[in-house]
Every structure is written in structure tokens, then in C-alpha cells.
Structure 1
Amino acid sequence: MLFRNRKQALLSLAIAFAMGGVIVTNAVAQSDSGSERRNRRSQKEQKAEVRYPEATRTEPKEKGSSKMSKKLGKLIDEFNESKFEEAKPLAAEILADSSANNYDKALAAFLAAQVAYNLDDNAGAEGFAKQAIELNGLDNNNHFTAMQFLAQLQIQDDKYADGLATIDRYLTETKSTKPEDLVIKGNALYRLERYKEAAATLRQAVDASPQPKNEWLQLLMASYADAGQNEDAIKLAEQLAAKSPDDKKAQMNLASVYMQADKMDKAAAILEKLRTSGQMTDEREYRQLYTTYANMEGKEKDTIAVINDGIQKGILKPDYQSYVALAQAYYYSDQIPQAIDAWKKGAPLSKDGETYLNLAKVLYQENRLPEAKEAAKSALAKGVKKPDDAKKIINAK
């Protein structure tokens, strides 16, 4: 994986509507002049922007009923003023009213979905969005906006297959090739671990955008890496890192891509530069660097330097993992006394006695028999896979 936690690599797709309030083209004008102005303005905005000119769906001819006009007007006002708690029962009332037609109910459900989302009720938002779509009473702008909203909500709630099905339907019925729509599909494909398809879709989105968003490029890079397309991932990561040389995240991503492609020397060089420049401030980053060095030939001294530096600065925890890595680096660089000291610190922190047994063996090799026996006893007390190895040291003369 490119990142330790795949979700870290994923786009944080905010659910937002491309409208400054709800566009209501078929609503019946209200009796007060303010509502009339609002409806006229909305109609003009709708005529000025047809967001889905290639849509295969024929817009319904049914308009809002006169009986529901006041209720709808109040619901729209409450929603546009972000009075979501007040809007919630109004939407429910319209949906339950036998006098409401399909348009009235679809609009109420459409607004109820957004109200529920703003009230952190994702399940309710999904249900209302589905209802708005199934009623099939809205104009294309709002009908397909509801569908796009539903797709993003499903993906956000880890319903990736449902989200992909919804966005596929959206793309088919709107014939949209907008980059932001393709990114939603690419995101769903990535989360479903269909990496090659995700990469192809995201590549299309990036190529279609004059200024692709940085998070789109990062998701494309992750898709390439997880699809095994390492050269493509490296090329993109290098471009992002070169574009933002002071962006630590871009540099860390490049290092991760290099590691995925087994280019450890290049990964280490980037991480080391971050450390020496004082930009490495996270424990995970220090572990990533010393682990990279530990997996390279002849880098024991670098491993030691990174671990000691991290511990001294209080960034790296002096825990079992750090001490064992430090002990091994000392041991393989023929610094046996320092290795023993590190093992002595790490062994008590281990869940079992294996580290104590390793310590006992090294102490025995160094002719420090009394210490070796004590370490072997501790190994037995904590439990080891081969207790006979510990017993041989204990019984040695």
C-alpha cells in the first residue's frame, strides 16, 4: 500500500451542492412579493444555466400544486437560512400530505435529504435522496444533483458498491464528462480496490481539467501504486513533489512511492532531507526512515543515528520496537556493548521472552555468563518458543 492507512490516501469528498440555495423552477409563486422575487430569480438562474444539456431524461411537466405553495415556500426559506431543525418537520409534513403531488414531494424529499445531512443523519439523508429520485418529479438540475449527492453520501458511508452503481447511473443518464463527476467514480473504484479502473477513470478526470485539484492527483498516484503501475506513480509523485518542494506531504508521498517500487535509496534520501531540515516532527515519520535504513545494506550507522535522534528529541518513543531495531543495528555494525544495552532496555518491554533469549545468547557469546543466565531465566519466565535454548544457557558452566 502507498499509505499505512488507505483511507488517508482517499479523497475527502465534501458533499456540496452547486447552487446558492435550492433552485426551484416549478414552484408556485407565493402571495408575498419577497417569495415572488425569489421564484423569479430562481427561474432566471435556471434558464441561464442548464447543467445537464445532454441528459437523456425528459423533465417532468408537473408543477408544484397551489395547495402546497405556502408550505414549500416556508420550507425553502427555512432551509436557505440554515434553520435545519425547523425545516425537518416541514418537509415531513409535505411528504405525508395527500394533497401534495410528485413535484411537491420530490422537492420536499430533496430538501429533507440535505437537512438530514446537515444534522449528521446520513441514513436519513440517503433515504430521502433515494425518495427524491424515485418520485421523479424534479427538474433535471435538481434531480441529478440529488443523484450525485446520493452517490457521494454512499461512498462516504463505506457503501462503495452502492455509490459506484449510483454514480454510474448518474453518468449514463447525464452523459456528463465533467472531471469532478469522474473523480467520484474513480474514488468509488479505488475504495473497491479496483485500482486499474480507478487509475484510468481518474486519469481521464485529470486530463479533462485545466487545473486538477491536488487531492485528485494524490488519489491517482495511489491508484497507480496499488495497481502496480509503479513508473506511472513515480512520475506523478515526482511532478507533485517538484511543484511543491516545501510541501512535506508531497515529499512523504514521493518517498512512499519510491519504497513501494523498492527504490529504498531514493526514499531514504528524501526522508533524510526532511529530518536534517527539521521538518520531521512525527513519530511515524521517524519509524519510516529508520525502517527504510534497516532494510538497506550497510546503513546500520544511519539507522542508529535516526533512532537516537528521535528518542533524544522526544519524537520517537523509547519502546520495544525502537530498542530492538537499535540493538540489531548496533549488533550488525559490530558495536556489541551498545547492542547489549539496547536489548536490555527492550527486553522488559517485550510481550514474550524472545528478546531476553536473544540477549542471553549474545551475552553468552561475549563470555558474560552470569548475565546470560539471568537473561535466560527471564526469557523462560516470559515464555519462549524454544525453552531448551534458554535452559542450555542456564545450565552452562
Structure 2
Amino acid sequence: MKHTPLFTMLAGAALAFSFAAAPAYAGGASKDKQAVQYPNTSRVAPKLDLTSEKEQKALNEGLDAVNAGDKAKAEQILQPIVDSSKSKYAQAIALQGLANVTYNTGDVKSAIPLLKRAIDIGVMPNDTYFQLMFELAQLYAADQQYQASLDTIAKWRAEGKKETADSYGLEGMDYYRLEKYPEAIAAIQKAKSLTDKPQDSWNQILMASYAESGKGGDAAKMATDEYEKNPTDSGMLHNASAILLQQQDYAGAIKVLEQGRSNGALKDEGDWINLVKAYLLQAQNGGDAKSGSAKALATFDDGVSKGAIKPSAANYKLAGDASVIGENDAKAIGYYQKGAALASDGELDVALGRVYFQDQKFAEAKKYLTQGLGKGVQHKGEAYMVLAEADRELKDKPGAITAMMEAAKDPATSAKAKDWLRKAGVGK
């Protein structure tokens, strides 16, 4: 299943799982009436059949154990009620409590049938019944059963005769996960129309759905607009810049990232690196290579000095590559050397060898190419071909032939290497 890897929230639905208020038995004192949450439902509320004060006490103790996170005690008290109580209401409340404590241990899959049984018994008061049905939809979503979540939301809405922003927000997330992007867009737009406090995750789903459905321009505009409303919000900055980069709007990405840099919102290392890359991508797509390289390196050095960009082989490779693009070999060597000291392979040693070869410093080129090949590199054939040329420049014909014979073993460079060897009179 393909999803736009832009947003940090889309891992699952945010749950607000809870259980019904502690039950009262039929002979007990009545409680103050609360506002009815589902006044338009056609469902007839069943009569309370909990008549045992002793059973009510046991339920309260079981639910207290649920609240305390004591799964063993909750199961010890509530499971017998599920198995043998004559009260359907008591069974349903006990099942709900078991579902809750099971969910709280991280076992969403096992919580689902427990909660479904509590609902299917059919004896819960209307408000509790519909509350649990909506929670069941959330559990299905958390368990990646997105169609089941949608079906449950539809049933909840049809029977409860109620529409809420949260229900459409969950529906939008379900549709997004099912790659039904037009439906996800419609659901999130409906959710936003029902509240003046939309969840940040809804905007993330909406932007991702725009991007996945070929409406990248809409996604970029929305992301930028959201960021402009909250220019010091690092999350909004990340979303906006990520979509702009995906849309190859490098100037737009640079604009928002530089704005975040100036107002303190640019905090995440990944966003600092994206600003470096945005300058390079702009330079490589119609911009000035030397100017773009200089801006990328200035950003990189600023990020390092502030501790935002951490020393790593990958980061120093990026800076070295930026230096090569800007034809600043001295800086490239410096960055590659720092990265090579942190690397677990020989890629940056080979990069150093290439720079030294370009500068006609063939002894240094041979040193680092040999060193890199010894550590292991992905494109061995290409590295051996450069090494062979360095040996040739050093008048080391046997070394050049040996290196080129190694290059001939790599399918990617085999033809060129064999042609070189043939012209050198080797292997006739």
C-alpha cells in the first residue's frame, strides 16, 4: 500500500477509549439526569436488568482494577460476571471493562471482539451503546481494519442519527489508508466544516490525499497556507517544505524553510538537510551551480555550528557532493575526510580518490581509492576503473592492468574494462 511519506501523524487513529460510568442496580438510588447525547435515535433504550447490589459492587471493583491497569485483578473479577451473570447489562459492562484493560496493554486485536460482544448484547443505554460503537470503529482503525471501521461508522451514524467532526475525521483517515483519496478529501472537508477547532491530523490527511490523487498543487498551497498561519510551528514547516520539495518547487521550499530558519521554527535535522538539498536541487535544475552550492554549504555549516546537523557520514557526504557541484575541491576533500572517519564502508574514501584524481594528485587518488575498495563499496567496477587510470598516470602499468581486470569482473563496467585491456594488449 503506497502512501505519501510526508507526515508524522498518519500512523493510526488517535483513540479516546473509555468505559461506561459505573453501573447502578435497579433498586438503587437514581442519579442526576445528564444531557442526552443521541436525542434523535430511533433505538429504544432497553430497561436496566442489574438487580443485585452484590454484583454491582463486584462490577465497581472490577472497573476500579481496570482504571488501575491491573489486568489480572480485572479479569479475576469481571470474567466470572461475563460467564455466569443473569444480568445482560452486567455482562456487557464486564466485557467493556475487559476490552478496556486489554486495549491498555497494547493488545488491540484481542480488545475488539470483547468490545463487540459488549455492544451486541444490546442492553446498553443509548448514550453508552453509541459511545462504544464509535470506540469500536476507532479500534478497527487502530488494527488496520479500515473497511470494518468505515462500516461501523456508517452504522453508528445511521442508528444514532448524529454527525460529528471526529467521526468524519476518522472516516477520512480510513479512506486515506484504503487509498480512496477523493472520499478521504470529502470526509476531511466535512469534518472541518463541523468544528472551529480541526485536528492537525485532519489537515495532514487532506494534504496527503491531495498529493496522492494528483492534486499536488492544492496540497502545496494548503500546506503553505497552514504554515503561514503558524509560522513558528515546526510541524507545519515540515509539512509545507516536504510537499513543496515533492512538487519540485524548490524556490517555494527554500522560502518557507528560510522563514523558519529566521524565526526559530527550523529545528529538526531533517528539515535543515532538506534546506541544503533544496539549494542544490535548485542549482541543478536551471539555477547557478556555484551560487547554489555556496548557499547549500553556508546552510550546512550554520546547522552544524548550531548543533542542528549532527556529524555523520551521510551528512558530510552531502556537503562534499555540494562542494563538488560548486567546483570547490578543497572543501569537498575536507567534508569527505570528516565523513570517511565516521563511515562504515569505503564510499567516501572513493569519493576522496575521485576528487584527488580530478586535481591530478594521482598518488593521493590511488591511496584513497585503494583504501575505499578495501572497506567495501557498492560500485566496485567504477572505482577500479578510476584506480586503473590513477595507476596509469603514475606509470604503474601492472597496477593499472590488475585494477582494470577487477573492473572487468563487474557487469556494470565489464565491457569498458575489457575494451581497455584489449587495447592494452592484455588477454589476446
Q: Same fold (TM over 0.5)?
A: yes
2:108–2:142 Cα contact (<8 Å) kept: no
| TM-fit CA distance, 1:12 | 5.5
Q: TM-score, normalised by structure 1?
A: 0.83
- Residues 251-297 of structure 1 show CA distances to partners (whole Å, capped at 9, x for unaligned) of 33222232232211111111122224444333222112112222112
1:376–1:393 Cα contact (<8 Å) kept: no
1:89 to 73, 76, 87: 76
After TM superposition, the structure 1 = structure 2 runs for residues 35-184 of structure 1, keeping only pairs within 5 Å, are 36=29, 39-41=30-32, 44-45=33-34, 48-49=35-36, 51-55=37-41, 57-60=43-46, 62-66=47-51, 68-76=52-60, 79=63, 82-83=67-68, 85=70, 87-97=74-84, 99-118=85-104, 120-184=106-170
1:390 aligned partner, one-letter code: L
| Alpha carbons of structure 1 residues 88 and 173: separation in structure 2 relative to 1, 3 Å | same
SS at match of 1:295: helix
| TM-fit CA distance, 1:301 | 0.9
2:116 aligned partner, one-letter code: K
| TM-fit CA distance, 1:333 | 1.7
**Aligned counterparts of 1:127 and 1:177: Cα–Cα separation in 2:** 25
Of 277-286 and 193-202, deviating more is 277-286
- Residues 59-118 of structure 1 show CA distances to partners (whole Å, capped at 9, x for unaligned) of 44x53143x443134414663693553554332121111x51433322322233234334
Of 272-281 and 262-271, deviating more is 272-281
**Aligned counterparts of 2:229 and 2:94: Cα–Cα separation in 1:** 46
SS at match of 1:136: coil
Report the counterpart of residue 393 of structure 1 in structure 2.
390
- Residues 12-56 of structure 1 show CA distances to partners (whole Å, capped at 9, x for unaligned) of 513145x9x52758x4133xxxxx1xx432xx22xx41x234445
2:355 to 332, 337, 362: 362
Report the counterpart of residue 33 of structure 1 in structure 2.
none
**Aligned counterparts of 1:265 and 1:343: Cα–Cα separation in 2:** 28
Report the counterpart of residue 416 of structure 2 in structure 1.
none
Report the counterpart of residue 27 of structure 2 in structure 1.
29
1:272 to 258, 261, 271: 258
Report the counterpart of residue 244 of structure 1 in structure 2.
230
How many residue pairs align between the two structures? 379
| Alpha carbons of structure 1 residues 251 and 5: separation in structure 2 relative to 1, 3 Å | closer
Report the counterpart of residue 327 of structure 1 in structure 2.
320
**Aligned counterparts of 2:17 and 2:154: Cα–Cα separation in 1:** 19
**Aligned counterparts of 1:272 and 1:6: Cα–Cα separation in 2:** 20
- Residues 324-381 of structure 1 show CA distances to partners (whole Å, capped at 9, x for unaligned) of 2212222222222222232333345455544433432332232212111212222332
**Aligned counterparts of 2:331 and 2:356: Cα–Cα separation in 1:** 12
After TM superposition, the structure 1 = structure 2 runs for residues 251-270 of structure 1, keeping only pairs within 5 Å, are 251-270=237-256
**Aligned counterparts of 1:190 and 1:225: Cα–Cα separation in 2:** 11
Counting aligned pairs with the same residue, the percent is: 27
**Aligned counterparts of 1:375 and 1:83: Cα–Cα separation in 2:** 62
- Residues 216-250 of structure 1 show CA distances to partners (whole Å, capped at 9, x for unaligned) of 33332333233332233234323322322332322
2:281 to 295, 307, 311: 295
1:117–1:125 Cα contact (<8 Å) kept: yes
**Aligned counterparts of 1:73 and 1:295: Cα–Cα separation in 2:** 68
Structure 1 gaps of 5+ residues are: 31-35
**Aligned counterparts of 2:144 and 2:64: Cα–Cα separation in 1:** 29
| TM-fit CA distance, 1:144 | 1.8
| Alpha carbons of structure 1 residues 390 and 160: separation in structure 2 relative to 1, 3 Å | farther
| Alpha carbons of structure 1 residues 377 and 77: separation in structure 2 relative to 1, 3 Å | closer
1:360–1:375 Cα contact (<8 Å) kept: yes
Report the counterpart of residue 411 of structure 2 in structure 1.
none
**Aligned counterparts of 1:119 and 1:29: Cα–Cα separation in 2:** 35
Residue 368 of structure 2 is aligned to residue 375 of structure 1: yes
1:75–1:87 Cα contact (<8 Å) kept: no
SS at match of 1:28: coil
1:181 aligned partner, one-letter code: S
1:22 aligned partner, one-letter code: A
2:41–2:159 Cα contact (<8 Å) kept: yes
| Alpha carbons of structure 1 residues 369 and 213: separation in structure 2 relative to 1, 3 Å | closer
SS at match of 1:262: coil
1:360–1:376 Cα contact (<8 Å) kept: yes
1:359–1:375 Cα contact (<8 Å) kept: yes
1:224–1:233 Cα contact (<8 Å) kept: yes
